[in-house]
Structure 1
Amino acid sequence: MQNSSTIKIEPHTHDVPRFRYLRAAEIDELEELWRALHRHHVSVTTHLENMIAPVDEMESWRRRRARYVEWLSAPGTMAILAERDGEGVGYAMVTIRPEANGSWRRGERVAVVQTLSVAPEHQNTGVGSALLEEVRRQLADEGITDVELAAVLGNSDAMRFYEQHGFQPLSTTMVSRLSAMAGPGD
């Protein structure tokens, strides 16, 4: 697996990004990409407005940044920044967790793509596909055979993208406020 700040140089084409592996001290380079993803998530989850109100962008980044720093302290975690012409155009944050005695036959360790973000102006240009390919290559080098991720319900473009890259739905996470649990006549 690549070490932090290791650079993988791709052949010089506009379509293929260059990858840089970030350390925790470099995580602020992801802020604008996270904020764009946060805005997108808010726009596609309007069906949840009455249940879970989103936090503002700055608070969202503060929370996510803290998680990224925490995750990067664990072995195997990767923060991969995709760059074109020196500009960050997308990133993947991938963690590794043990998977022993689960309900399905899987490897001893499972990779979790915690975040895959591509700048809006670089979507549909191969950045997301290149990031997933780089993630898979790194994980295969580590002997990891299973990768999972979550997509926000309502983000149909992302779900279609993931399905085109071999992901299939496994479970659905349902959310509810406790006050919403009361049934008719309660």
Structure 2
Amino acid sequence: MPVSISRLTSADIPAMIDLLHIFEAVFEMEDFELPANSYLDKLLSNKDFLVMAARDENGKVLGGLTAYVLPSYYEETAELYLYDLGVSPDAQRQGIGRLLLDSLKDYCKKGKFTEFFVQAVEGDTEAMRFYNATGGKPLRVIHYDYEL
């Protein structure tokens, strides 16, 4: 199946909504409510927020990723934080996640980012297996959350 990867823009709100529903299913999000289209438009217009979608030859969204640009204050460069990557359950195990990750690597190389990184929750063996298989190098860190 031919799959294309593209960055979503504010003109792609329907595709963003499709991707959010994929995330809802993959991440088992309970009581998920879509943000307003005006919010999605603002988000997709932000140059420091990246959404890449994988689509089939008919334009159906099969999966995607979201990432944030983190400008460095040590030097004139940036890093990229991969926030979410998900593929529709019926399209998993077909190489789409790897295509998305490869597209992100290409994007980072062209943008001269120093690195990109992603978190995986300890015990999420599927995510950890995927990131190991695609060349990620695990670092042991302790992540602290502050609920507000």
Output the TM-score relative to the length of structure 1: 0.64
CA distance in 1: counterparts of 2:121 and 2:20, whole angstroms: 14
Is contact 1:82-1:91 (8 Å) kept?
A: yes
Is contact 1:30-1:91 (8 Å) kept?
A: no
Aligned residues: percent identity?
21
Give the letter aligned to residue 12 of structure 2: E
2:57 equivalent to 1:85: yes
Q: Describe the SS at the equivalent of 1:116.
A: strand
2:121 equivalent to 1:173: no
| Number of the residue aligned with 2:73 | 100
2:86 equivalent to 1:147: no
Structure 1, unaligned runs of 5 or more: 1-13, 43-53, 179-186
CA distance in 1: counterparts of 2:135 and 2:41, whole angstroms: 29
Give the letter aligned to residue 65 of structure 2: A
| Counterpart pick for 2:90 among 106, 121, 139 | 121
2:26 equivalent to 1:40: yes
Give the letter aligned to residue 141 of structure 1: K
Q: Describe the SS at the equivalent of 1:124.
A: coil
Question: Residue 91 of structure 1: CA displacement?
Answer: 1.1
Give the letter aligned to residue 84 of structure 1: D
Map Cα deviations across residues 33-52 of structure 1 (whole Å, 9 max, x no partner): 3233234334xxxxxxxxxx
CA distance in 2: counterparts of 1:155 and 1:34, whole angstroms: 20
Question: Residue 145 of structure 1: CA displacement?
Answer: 2.4
| Number of the residue aligned with 2:16 | 30
Is contact 2:19-2:53 (8 Å) kept?
A: no
Question: Residue 170 of structure 1: CA displacement?
Answer: 4.6
Structure 1 stretches of 4+ with a deviation exceeding 2 A read 30-42, 68-78, 150-155, 169-178
- Please say which structure displays the higher CA radius of gyration: 1
| Number of the residue aligned with 2:35 | 62
Q: Describe the SS at the equivalent of 1:30.
A: helix
Question: Residue 84 of structure 1: CA displacement?
Answer: 1.3
How many equivalent residue pairs?
Answer: 145
Is contact 1:96-1:112 (8 Å) kept?
A: yes
CA root-mean-square deviation: 2.9
